[in-house]
Amino acid sequence: MQTADRLKKIPPYLFMELRQKIAKARAEGIDVISLAIGDPVEPTPQPIIDELSKEAYHPANHRYPTDEEKGMLAFREAVAEWYRTRYAVSLDPKIEVLGLIGSKEGCHHFVLAVVNPGDVVLMTDPGYPAYQASIWMAGGEPYRVPIRAEHGFLPVFDDVPSEIARKATAIFLNYPNNPTGAVANPQFFARLVEFARSYDIAVCYDNPYSEIVFEGERPLSFLAAEGAKGVGVELNSLSKPFNMTGWRIGMAMGNADLISAISKVKENTDSGIFNAIQYAGIVALRKCQDNISKMLEIYGNRRKRVVDTFNQLGWDYRPPKGTFYLWLPTPKGMGALELTTLLFEKAHVVVAAGTAYGQYGEGYVRISLTVPDDRLDEALRRIRATLS
């Protein structure tokens, strides 16, 4: 049987391969600790679960959620209210907000809504692998803009060749950044708006870690920048701030024409988010802010333990201030894959090789803080024994 050519360019999803490797070692009786995957282990807050349980009993919620095409208006209103209070961004919930089955889905549907076959789409290197896969699936050509430590892992727009910028129709950006942990700032947003405007490039600002920032960093939205709504959309998600990765609920906000184009793709693809989950999402946004502070404290403690461990081993490591990942430089002369393999074989600890995020990820590994405290401590103990 034939499978489509569009799938041939896409390497196996990084974490599928890792899962197989881990499963194999575990089947051999090895106690593997994975620090590779970013997926909170603490449960979803109780009020959200209670709301889902309650709403699941209402037959009205068992039907297609399509009565209002952009998702339930009540959910979109809660999103607009959250953006107003958290980021001082005003949104019209009727035309500038769209419910999503997660931000990953939104990225894919954004490309289908914006990109013609052959179009160039900009993204960073290193960058989130799903952007590249979506660009390829839509027939677009990814152009990877390097991001480097010396520029705070932010792209330098002046380094994008102007013939590439002219051909580009869209750009993906994501700060607080997976995988580097870097954060953006208002000056960068202003420059991004200017760049997007001068080359007529649609911005997809993927912001699922907006709330996961440390050491006095403020949560930021790209949409707070002047002119942002004129050039793009921001995606966000309840997955990371409310420990809801399995629930599949997120949102797109911003430019009304883009929102309506993405909505058109969605109407012909999925039929929206289960109503009971949208009600649960409203409870998350309105009543569960305390979960965010609780998780920031947990991640902050784990972050400190990892940083201290590596600094005791002789690293001089001062990580950027966002996300629940640490983007750790490998020792001099050691490649990303080499360190990953060493830690897997000697310590039975899995970290993600930086090269899985692009060629400029060489020289780094990514460590995720979404593991229980005792497992993290055990992993750090083994890492210390392996590397000292």
Ligand X SMILES: *Cc1c(COP(=O)(O)O)cnc(C)c1O
Q: Which is nearer to ligand X, 75 or 128 (CB)?
A: 128
Q: Which is nearer to ligand X, 104 or 302 (CB)?
A: 104
Q: Which is nearer to ligand X, 86 or 348 (CB)?
A: 86
How far apart, in whole angstroms, are the C-alpha atoms of residue 235 and residue 222?
10
Q: Which three-class secondary structure state does DSSP give residue 360?
A: helix
Position with the least CB separation from ligand X = 102
Q: In the complex, what is the shortest distance from the CB of residue 284 to ligand X, in angstroms, rounded to a whole number?
A: 13
Q: Which is nearer to ligand X, 199 or 242 (CB)?
A: 242
How far apart, in whole angstroms, are the C-alpha atoms of residue 387 and residue 16?
27
Q: Which is nearer to ligand X, 14 or 95 (CB)?
A: 14
Residue 212 is inside which H or E element, if any? none
Q: In the complex, what is the shortest distance from the CB of residue 3 to ligand X, in angstroms, rounded to a whole number?
A: 24
How far apart, in whole angstroms, are the C-alpha atoms of residue 238 and residue 67?
22
What type of residue sits at position 373? D
Q: In the complex, what is the shortest distance from the CB of residue 159 to ligand X, in angstroms, rounded to a whole number?
A: 22
What is the DSSP code string of 90-156?
---TTTSEEEES-HHHHHHHHHHHHPPTT-EEEEEES--HHHHHHHHHTT-EEEEEE--GGGTT---
What type of residue sits at position 210? S
Q: In the complex, what is the shortest distance from the CB of residue 40 to ligand X, in angstroms, rounded to a whole number?
A: 10
Q: In the complex, what is the shortest distance from the CB of residue 367 to ligand X, in angstroms, rounded to a whole number?
A: 14
Instruction: Looking at 177-234, list the stretches that DSSP marks H as alpha helix, in order from N- to C-terminal side.
Output: 186-199, 228-231
How far apart, in whole angstroms, are the C-alpha atoms of residue 372 and residue 298?
10
Q: Which residues contact ligand X by CB under 6 A?
A: 102-104, 128, 174, 178, 206, 208, 237, 239, 245, 250
What token pair was written down for 194? 């200017």
Q: In the complex, what is the shortest distance from the CB of residue 86 to ligand X, in angstroms, rounded to a whole number?
A: 17
Closest alpha carbon to 121 in 137, 106, 100? 137
Q: In the complex, what is the shortest distance from the CB of residue 142 to ligand X, in angstroms, rounded to a whole number?
A: 15
What sign for the dihedral angle of Cα 124, 125, 129, 135?
Answer: positive
What is the DSSP code string of 302-335?
HHHHHHHHHHHTT------SBSSEEEEEPPTT--
Q: Which is nearer to ligand X, 38 or 65 (CB)?
A: 38
Q: In the complex, what is the shortest distance from the CB of residue 128 to ligand X, in angstroms, rounded to a whole number?
A: 4
Q: Which is nearer to ligand X, 178 or 243 (CB)?
A: 178
How far apart, in whole angstroms, are the C-alpha atoms of residue 284 and residue 48?
6
Q: Which is nearer to ligand X, 18 or 383 (CB)?
A: 18
